[in-house]
A and B are shown apart, each in its own frame.
Chain A
Amino acid sequence: MRTTRQTFTVYFLLTVFGIVLILPFYYMVITSFKSTTEVTRIPISLFLMEPELTSYRVLLSESLFPRAAWNSFLIASALTLGNMFLCPLAGYAFAKHRFPGRDAIFIALLATMMIPGSVLLVPGFLLFRDFGWLNTWLPLIIPGLVGVFGVFLSRQFISEIPTDLIDAARIDGCSELAIYRNVILPLSKSLLATLAIFTFLSAWNSFISPLIFLLDEEKFTLPLFISLLQGRFRGKENVQMAGAVLSILPVLIVFFFFQRQIVRSLAGTGLKE
């Protein structure tokens, strides 16, 4: 049986490593509440002496932060909605329909996942230039509206749904789209949650494509905006950290409340064979 000493050791180690892990966040939060004077004070302090909101005021009034956050939200939402609708749709066809070429097409789709994104940057740039999509959000949204990985996950998930249910609906005279809406989607709540979380997070944090495809700051996404802070608020770490706080905090709060779901999704997306 477990001894008290063992239990103590476990708690002790968890605390120590936890502190180390959380330290950067701690630094971020306390620095964001410092004044410019306190940030530059010597010797540097481990604590927050005179909390202030100046840095947040500066960030919100002297930069395009709100706009960048809204932009990111719009883009990520569009991608999330697109994937939540289109991935299970294709996944359903691949899982439950029988049609010529089904498996070949599916395998061909999967094979394209081998191509790393960095190979597509240069020709993608030229392609979107051809379309007149540069300096718009279209190259960030349209190609990502239906991810192959999402289709793959959906197919795996939907093949577990009993075919009898679908057949019953068909006998009742439901159209395929109605089956999708009334049978498949209601039974795929956890799949949809996974897709939503996975898509939203990766869109929210995506960096290199916006970096290449967007030009003027009014269209910038949040990570792009954050990447400008080092130069724009040079030496004003409090403002930089306020930016970090405001970009990380919303995600952390959502994460705290939907932790179980998110962890399961991410582990799932990583571990399906």
Chain B
Amino acid sequence: MSGAAILARPGGGIARNFLSIPRGYGAKMEHPETMMTPPPMCSSWLPPRARLLLLFPLLLGQFSIAAGEPVTLQFWAVTGVYQELEMYKLLAADFEMQTGIRVRVTPLGWGNFATKYLTAMAAGVPPDVGVTNLGGPVEYGRVGGVLDLRESFPDEIAEFESGFFPKLLPGFTFRGKLFGLPASLTTMAVFYRTDTFARLGIKPPETWSEFSEAIRALEAAGYHYGFGWPRGDAWALNLYSMPFGVPYLGYNPDREAKVFWDNPVFQEALFQGLSWWSLHDLGDKTLQGARQIALFKLDDPKTAIPLLIDLSFIYNAIPISAPEINGKWDILPWPKADHGEAFNIVGGTAYVIFRESERPREAFQWLRFLNSVEAQRFMILHSLSRGEDSTFVVSPIRALWEPEAEEFWKCPEMAASARIKEVMAQVVDSFALLEPVLGGSEVGRLLDASLDRLVASAMRALNRSANRAGMSRWEFIQSIARGEREQEARDVESALREAIRSEAQAVTGPANSILEREARAYDRNYGDILDRLDELDASWDVLSVLEVLVAGLLAILTAVVLLVPACRRNLVSYLFIAPPVVCVLLFVVVPATAALYLSLTEYMPVLPLATARWVGPEHYRSILSGELFFASLFRTVLYALGMLPAQIAIALALAVLLNNPVSGQRWWRFVYFSPMVSSVVSVSLIFVALYQGAHYGWANALLLKLGYIRDIVVFLDNEKTFLGCVIVLAIWHGLSFNIIVFLAGLQQIPFTLYEAAEVDGAGWFRRFLHITLPGLRPQMVFLVVVGCIWAFQVFEPIYMLGGGAGEAGTKFGPNDAGQALVPLIYQTGFEDFRMGQAAAYAYLLFAILFVLTLLQVRTLRRAGV
């Protein structure tokens, strides 16, 4: 029986078994709304000590239950801006008035939400309805997490479905099942300054070739152009390929999922797109929204960008943050390809109803309400009323775009949006979504890395040619735009074409084999297993075995303590040490043992743990014969080697400096120790801004001023500089701890040694070399050991510098430049949900750390510490 057939099993039995309801706390989780009520503030009439004690019940109060709640739907909203949350709350209030059904709106931050939803499904705690990204419905639906709307609501769905633009629905359909509906849409658009274009005599670009011409004309006049979308994201692939009518990923005539990188039309699209992005000026993720508009409103050719590409929804933010250019700019749809049937790329959000929901009818009612014309109008108006964050969201409801709806668009609140409505109305029919494939997100990451490499190689070719011509990159680009360097321009372009061909060759095979593997794994995992779910759910898995073992062990220990007289006399002692012993057994020994077992199995966490399939040392074999792990290990070692020696050396120098008798010790130490107590996540946020914040950050400004670089470097978008950025941040953050350790060591060196040396006429350097350094040996060994162990577990700075939670998952630097070992474990385990493999990685890391520690302890002993 195939997986699809099982998903069709009537009665939605899968949800019950599939996402096993957690034991113990399960009952309490049914009313999460009460868990989330804010804890009451500590009452002021209590004495201070009692108030402290209150913290415990307060915490527990977070999880308590309250009875007698009205029918409440849980609704998780993925919100880009906070106001969106308010919007949903207002809609919910309205809905409650109409139907008596309460909707509790909970925010799920933008980014990483696919992981969050999958985790919630795995844990059996999903909401009733959720807002997610456009790929979400099928991603959750194919593992049985969300309802097939066609099966669940056969009477209403046909009519409801027909209300949406039809080209959108394939994006939510998998093997004939409709797993979600569009929520709000946006697309890419071109914004240009009419005054500048008129002055330079440039035609507003409607096709790709006109767009290329416009770029050249602008560059020849000294202007830049800007784009608010990362060129190296897999999403950008849509941007390149859709105008040409070729998807980069889809099904061949035999209904096999394939990547189409070997398709010449796609390669041409990729070439065009990448040359806009990478053979001209820089672009990076941070050049979006407010910053782009700030540059858009300028006139000075050196800094202004009179042409910018961004999501259409920023239209309404421009007049609010840049009223001075009203009437001097316009919007155009994303250009069409010169040939081929174009379709429009779409971004946005979708709604899903989770299978676990106990009130699917009410949930469906809520969805219908949200997609009613009235609610849609309210959403449009609300989105337009957000000041600097005003957005124009494209409604996926056809009724709003039909002539009967004209009245709405003529209302006074819409006056400022007439033009964007007109432009969107031209393209809304062609809004389309790609048909989803299994393994799409993993392949997406592979292609992401490949795009990063292409961008890097294009930039390299450009830099090389510019160097040869003795110019900065920007001068060189301008000179090409003026038509002075035809030959060089062709060279650079053919280098890019060549790179695309070889990347396509390198990537197609592995990508297709991932798609094949995922299709096979799907039928295997969800085919065989779904039949036996009831039986599996009740059967033993490794954790329950271990839990019982630990309980047994604890029972035996208790029995021994109680029954053996020698022990019973010490009952109190055993009670005192019980908390750490139980804690360690349950939360360290059990998981560590389970991890060892898991690393020998293949396991998808949305299924019961008993479905983990024994594969023996297969994971270790494939990991050790593949490249991924060693590449990660190499990056980790590089990071440790780049960071540790520099950090220790600088810390040593500063400690010696601080050890001098200076006045104002307290202040000096405060300055030198302050990085240590700051959270590394916040510190990373500061460093991101320093590396490529406003106008490429202070780092660029400094290096340009000093003449080290001729062109701006987008540090965090550059494979070669990314890890260096992480290292600098880590050195800065870890410096204080090292200094403190050294200072403690310095104070233990007897002062008489220095005096004696001074009497002997030794200078400060010789004293440092012969007294200080040997005296600090234990500290140094300690710092190397601890530093190594920490360095091998680096995660936060890489996560943050990679951009944090991206919309399509986490990215650890361009071309995975920062994917060290823990990021690899995180990605495998909690984004791809391949628990077995992640556990195997974790055990390999453990082994490495173990060996490292043993080696260091031995060196330590030999050094006589």
Contacts and interface: CB of A to CB of B under 8 A. Distances in A.
Interface of A: 10-11, 13-14, 17-18, 21-22, 24-25, 27-28, 31, 36-37, 39-44, 62-64, 67, 70, 74-75, 77-78, 81, 86-87, 89-90, 92-94, 97-100, 102, 105, 109, 112, 114-127, 129-138, 141-143, 145-148, 151, 176-177, 180, 201, 204-205, 207-208, 212, 215-220, 222-223, 226-232, 234-237, 240-241, 243-244, 247-248, 251-252, 255-256, 259, 262-263, 266-267, 270-271
15 contacts: A13-B657, A14-B657, A42-B294, A43-B701, A64-B82, A97-B576, A118-B842, A119-B845, A129-B22, A137-B59, A148-B580, A204-B679, A228-B804, A230-B803, A243-B682
Interface in B551-582: 564, 566-567, 570, 572-574, 576-577, 579-581
Contacts of A99: 567, 570, 573-574
A21 B583 contact: no
Contacts of A123: 543, 590-592, 594-595, 598, 839
Contacts of A121: 825-826, 829-830, 838, 842
A66 B701 CA distance: 35
B771 to A, nearest CB: 17
A14 to B, nearest CB: 6
B681 A127 contact: no
Contacts of B225: none
B369 interface: no
A44 to B, nearest CB: 5
Interface stretch (B6-14, B284-292, B471-479, B529-537): B284-292
A73 to B, nearest CB: 9
A255 B740 CA distance: 14
Contact of B835 (A100, A122, A133, A207): A122
Contacts of A102: 573
Interface stretch (B103-111, B170-178, B357-365, B486-494): B103-111
B732 A24 contact: yes
Interface string B517-556: 0000000000000000000000000011001000000000
Contacts of A135: 32, 119-120, 123, 125
A43 B122 CA distance: 50
Given A146-B583, A243-B685, A252-B674, A126 B693 contact: no
Contacts of B689: 27, 31, 237, 240-241
B842 A119 contact: yes
Nearest to B789: A116
Contacts of A25: 674, 686
Contacts of A176: 572-573, 576
Interface residues of B, number: 151
Nearest to B572: A176
Contacts of B110: 228, 231-232
A14 B670 CA distance: 12
Given A18-B672, A136-B62, A114 B850 contact: yes
Contact of B737 (A39, A40, A218, A266): A266
A93 B795 CA distance: 37
B598 A122 contact: yes
A127 B590 contact: yes
B677 interface: yes
A230 B800 contact: yes
Contacts of A62: 81-83
A255 B666 CA distance: 11
Contact of B577 (A90, A118, A122): A90
Nearest to B588: A112
Interface string B106-138: 111111000010011011110000000000000
Interface in B497-520: none
A89 B595 contact: no
Given A116-B792, A228-B109, 17 more contacts: A21-B674, A27-B686, A93-B574, A119-B592, A123-B592, A124-B587, A134-B119, A151-B580, A180-B576, A208-B822, A215-B108, A219-B36, A222-B679, A241-B686, A241-B689, A244-B685, A256-B670
B157 to A, nearest CB: 29
A109 B686 contact: no
B335 interface: no
A162 to B, nearest CB: 19
A99 B569 CA distance: 9
Interface stretch (B50-58, B92-100, B342-350, B399-407): B50-58
B580 A42 contact: no
| Secondary structure type dominating chain B contacts | helix
A129 B123 contact: yes
Nearest to A36: B290
Contacts of B236: none
| Secondary structure type dominating chain A contacts | helix
Contacts of B740: 263, 266-267, 270
B674 A22 contact: yes
A231 B805 contact: yes
Given A40-B294, A143-B583, A244-B686, A17 B657 contact: yes
Interface in B685-707: 685-690, 693-695, 697-698, 701
B281 to A, nearest CB: 15
Contact of A126 (B609, B668, B800): B609
B787 to A, nearest CB: 11
A103 to B, nearest CB: 12
B862 interface: no
Contacts of B328: none
Contacts of B80: 231-232
A105 B560 CA distance: 15
Contacts of A216: 36, 76, 106-108, 116
Given A62-B81, A228-B805, A105 B581 contact: yes
B111 A228 contact: yes
Nearest to A29: B686
A17 B649 CA distance: 14
Interface stretch (B23-31, B245-253, B423-431, B448-456): B23-31
A77 B321 CA distance: 43
B46 interface: no
B329 interface: no
B669 interface: yes
B805 A122 contact: no
B588 A115 contact: yes
Interface in B357-415: 388
The 3 A-B pairs at the shortest CB distance, nearest first, are namely: A132-B25, A132-B22, A40-B294
A207 B681 contact: yes
B591 A109 contact: no
Nearest to A86: B579
Q: Point out which of B564, B579, B591, B795 has the most chain A C-beta atoms below 10 A from its C-beta.
A: B591
B796 interface: yes
Contacts of B122: 129, 134
A137 B107 CA distance: 17
A133 B26 CA distance: 9
Contact of A259 (B669, B697, B741): B669
Contact of B570 (A97, A119, A247, A263): A97
Contacts of B417: none
Given A118-B822, A126-B605, A130-B23, A255 B698 contact: no
Nearest to B605: A126
Nearest to A61: B82
B461 interface: no
A167 to B, nearest CB: 15
B69 to A, nearest CB: 17
Contact of A24 (B573, B690, B741): B690
A223 to B, nearest CB: 4
A120 B592 contact: yes
A131 B853 CA distance: 34
Nearest to A206: B679
Given A97-B573, A122-B838, A145-B579, A78 B289 contact: no
Contacts of A136: 25, 35, 62-63
Contacts of A18: 668, 671-672
B673 interface: yes
